[in-house]
């Protein structure tokens, strides 16, 4: 520890500490934080322990620490630092835990969590997470008796609205520590706090805050698994289908459901009827919003796209009755709403398999046939008549629409029918092989990835032997060889003619 936190020039620390200790007036949290950002608490403590041979250093540092700990920010670091130091004592976990219990340090951390400012609360969360990483630390955080004052359920019930949200945030963060900690949280019935919060229609702001935590929880592997075992999915479905609810609540409910069902591990614990209920709820809402271009419509499309990013989710969407993908495909090729079309194109790219591993792109035969049929049906009802016409129209639109179009084609092109459509439209090949089509880095890379996907599908298909497509093969090969970034074919040197300078 001494070497890690040793300071090269103790006199510099002395000067800064002296200025801080002798500063006139009351010092606020910002001043304390600024000082500790330059000289963290472990550095100061280490300087005191090593007793560097600098006159007045010890007394100056003590005076400096006294002023630091008089601020709320400085005081909040006392339990945090004590816990961190105690748990860093290698091989002496039992003694460290005893000290934390005997001196009620954990209670101090909880007080900082619910009553401190944002920075103090965040520091407390990180310290409690560290404590949860020790087997005996779990016993402190999750007492066996429900009536303990430190039980997180009791703490939430007696805290202010903000304090309650912070307790729920701590619970979400603890899910990421380990599967064993996640299991203890679930068995302690702490997720019921979130169920109660989502069920409360009277406080939109509090409900929205809890939904944001659920959205975070759905991304944590252990969290998604245990979240799927609660009634929260049913509660979210009821919010999605409730027209009387605030729009923002319905939107977040759709996004949380989409993220949860995109998690392959979580889906193992959700039965098929529940999955279909969620899909039906989102699809029903999207059908109601069919002619609109709103944030809620985008959320519904994005949620379906999240579900479709997994191979199981994509199959569920395509085989639902009626298929939820029909709204996605309709919107993907509808120029009437730019933001709606953009969300739909990205959703269709996910369903087509663009984000999935190569061996997980193609779905089962029934789902694949459903996808092919719906795209051809939309094309036949449009002025473009064919899927290739639809694809080209997307690539001829604004840059962000083109980027989504590249993703969509990269996912679809592994299918022989789509590859044939792409190769039958020289204009599409010209766009995806032209390095000057895009001017931004993200656009160049999206175009290049699309080009590579087409080439890979082409060289592994029966079309490779078609002499009429030799030109397509050559363009794709050359474009892939040049790379994504504005590569130019070598040009002949052009003579430059200048008039002579005259004096």
User: Between 468 and 100, where is the model more confident?
Assistant: 468
Intra-chain end-to-end CA distance of the chain, in Å = 74
Residue 356: pLDDT band with limits 50, 70, 90: very high
Would you state the structure tokens that stand for residue 60, as one six-digit string? 């100056």
Structure confidence at residue 52 (pLDDT): 59
Q: Residue 373: pLDDT band by 50, 70, 90 thresholds?
A: very high
Higher pLDDT, 71 or 348: 348
Instruction: Report the SS3 class of residue 486.
Output: coil
For position 473, what pLDDT does the model report?
87
Residue pair 389/409 in contact by the 8 Å Cβ criterion: no
Among 64-78, 84-98, 173-187, the range scoring the smallest mean pLDDT is 84-98
Residue of 364 and 98 predicted with greater confidence: 364
Closest to 390 measured CA to CA, from 377, 400, 323: 377
Residue 401 pLDDT greater than 90, yes or no: yes
**């027209």: which residue's tokens?**
243
Burial of 422 from C-beta contacts in 10 A (0-12 / 13-18 / 19+): buried
When comparing pLDDT for 341 and 81, which is higher?
A: 341
C-alpha pair distances (Å), 22 with each of 14, 37, 56: 12, 19, 14
> What pLDDT band is residue 496 in, cutting at 50, 70 and 90?
low
413: left (phi over 0), alpha (psi -120 to 50) or beta: alpha
Top-ranked range on mean pLDDT: pick from 7-21, 89-103, 469-483: 469-483
Answer yes or no: are the C-beta atoms of 279 and 322 closer than 8 Å: no
Please name which of 283, 166, 274 lies closest in space to residue 230, comparing C-alpha atoms: 274
Given a cut of 50, is residue 364 above it in pLDDT? Answer: yes
Decide: 253 and 239 in contact? Cβ < 8 Å. yes
Residues contacting 132, CB < 8 A, separation 6+: 138, 141, 174, 177, 181
Residue 491 has pLDDT above 60, yes or no: no
CA distances from 401 to 234, 396, 432 (A): 34, 9, 14
207-227: pLDDT as tens digits: 899 999 998 988 888 888 888
Answer for the pair 229, 192: CB distance below 8 angstroms, yes or no.
no
Are 343 and 296 a contacting pair, CB within 8 Å? no
Task: Give the integer Cα–Cα distance in Å for 232 and 142.
Answer: 22
Average pLDDT, integer, range 183-210: 87
Evaluate the omega torsion of the peptide bond into residue 402 and state whether it is cis, within 30 degrees of 0: no
Q: Which of 73-87, 202-216, 259-273, 375-389 has the lowest mean pLDDT?
A: 73-87
Confidence (pLDDT) at 344: 94
| 13 in Cβ contact with 58 (< 8 Å) | no
Phi, psi angle pair for 320, to nearest 5°: -70, 155
Q: Output the pLDDT for position 146.
A: 79
Q: Other CB atoms closer than 10 Å to residue 322's CB: what's the count?
A: 10
The answer for residues whose C-beta is within 8 angstroms of residue 61's C-beta and 6 or more apart is 13, 17, 44, 47, 48
Mean pLDDT over the full length of the chain: 85
Q: Over the stretch 110-148, which tens digit does the pLDDT of each residue have?
A: 888 888 778 778 878 888 888 888 888 888 899 888 788
Q: Could you write out the DSSP letters of every residue in 68-109?
A: HTTSHHHHHHHHHHHHHHHHTSTT-HHHHHHHHHHTTHHHHH
Is pLDDT above 70 for 6? no
Q: Where are the domains of the chain?
A: 10-70, 209-382, 413-486
Kindly give, in sequence order, each residue whose CB lies less than 8 Å from that of residue 350, ignoring residues fewer than 6 positions away: 305, 306, 308, 309, 314, 411
CB atoms near residue 331 (< 10 Å): 27
Q: How confident is the model at residue 2 (pLDDT cuts 50, 70, 90)?
A: very low
- 209-382 maps to CATH 1.25.10.10: yes
Does residue 347 register a pLDDT over 90? yes
The rounded distance, in Å, linking the Cα atoms of 448 and 47 is: 56
Mean pLDDT computed over 149-167: 91
319 in Cβ contact with 366 (< 8 Å): yes
Mind listing the pLDDT tens digit for each residue in 171-183? 999 998 888 999 9
For the whole prediction, is pTM greater than 0.85?
no
């Amino acid at each position: 520890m001494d070497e890690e936190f040793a300071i090269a020039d103790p006199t510099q620390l002395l000067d800064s500490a002296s200025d801080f200790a002798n500063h006139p007036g009351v010092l606020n949290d910002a001043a304390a934080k600024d000082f500790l950002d330059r000289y963290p608490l472990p550095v100061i403590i280490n300087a005191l322990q090593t007793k560097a041979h600098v006159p007045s250093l010890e007394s100056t540092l003590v005076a400096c620490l006294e002023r630091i700990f008089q601020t709320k920010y400085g005081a909040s670091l006392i339990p945090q630092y004590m816990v961190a130091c105690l748990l860093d004592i290698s091989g002496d976990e039992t003694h460290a835990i005893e000290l934390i219990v005997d001196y009620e340090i954990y209670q101090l951390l909880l007080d900082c969590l619910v009553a401190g400012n944002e920075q103090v609360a965040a520091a407390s969360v990180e310290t409690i997470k560290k404590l949860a990483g020790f087997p005996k630390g779990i016993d402190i955080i999750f007492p066996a008796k429900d009536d303990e004052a430190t039980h997180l359920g009791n703490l939430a019930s007696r805290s202010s609205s903000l304090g309650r949200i912070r307790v729920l945030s701590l619970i979400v963060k603890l899910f990421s520590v380990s599967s064993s900690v996640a299991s203890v949280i679930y068995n302690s019935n702490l997720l019921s706090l979130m169920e109660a919060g989502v069920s409360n229609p009277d406080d939109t702001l509090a409900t929205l805050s809890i939904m944001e935590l659920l959205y975070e929880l759905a991304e944590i592997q252990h969290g998604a698994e245990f979240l799927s075992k609660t009634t929260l999915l049913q509660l979210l479905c009821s919010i999605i289908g409730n027209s009387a609810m605030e729009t923002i609540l319905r939107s977040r409910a759709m996004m949380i459901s989409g993220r949860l069902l995109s998690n392959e591990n979580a889906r193992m614990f959700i039965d098929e009827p529940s999955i279909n209920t969620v899909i039906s709820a989102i699809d029903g809402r999207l059908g109601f919003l069919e002619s609109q271009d709103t944030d809620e419509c985008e959320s519904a499309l994005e949620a379906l796209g999240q579900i479709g990013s997994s191979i199981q989710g994509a199959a569920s969407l395509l085989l639902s009755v009626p298929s939820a993908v029909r709204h996605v495909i309709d919107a993907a090729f509808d120029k009437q709403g730019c933001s709606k079309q953009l969300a739909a194109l990205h959703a269709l790219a996910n369903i087509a398999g663009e984000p999935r591993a190569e061996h997980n792109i193609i779905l089962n035969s029934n789902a694949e046939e459903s996808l092919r049929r719906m795209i051809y049906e939309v094309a036949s009802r449009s002025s473009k008549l064919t899927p290739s016409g639809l694809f080209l129209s997307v690539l001829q639109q604004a840059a962000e629409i083109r980027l989504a179009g590249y993703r969509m084609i990269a996912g679809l092109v592994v299918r022989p029918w789509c590859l044939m459509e792409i190769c039958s439209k020289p204009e599409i090949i010209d766009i995806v092989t032209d390095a000057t089509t895009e001017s931004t880095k993200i656009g160049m890379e999206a175009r290049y990835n699309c080009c590579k996907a087409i080439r890979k599908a082409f060289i592994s298909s029966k079309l490779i032997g078609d002499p009429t497509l030799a030109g397509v093969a050559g363009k794709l090969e050359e474009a892939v060889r040049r790379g994504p970034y504005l590569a130019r074919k070598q040009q002949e040197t052009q003579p430059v003619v200048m008039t002579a300078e005259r004096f």
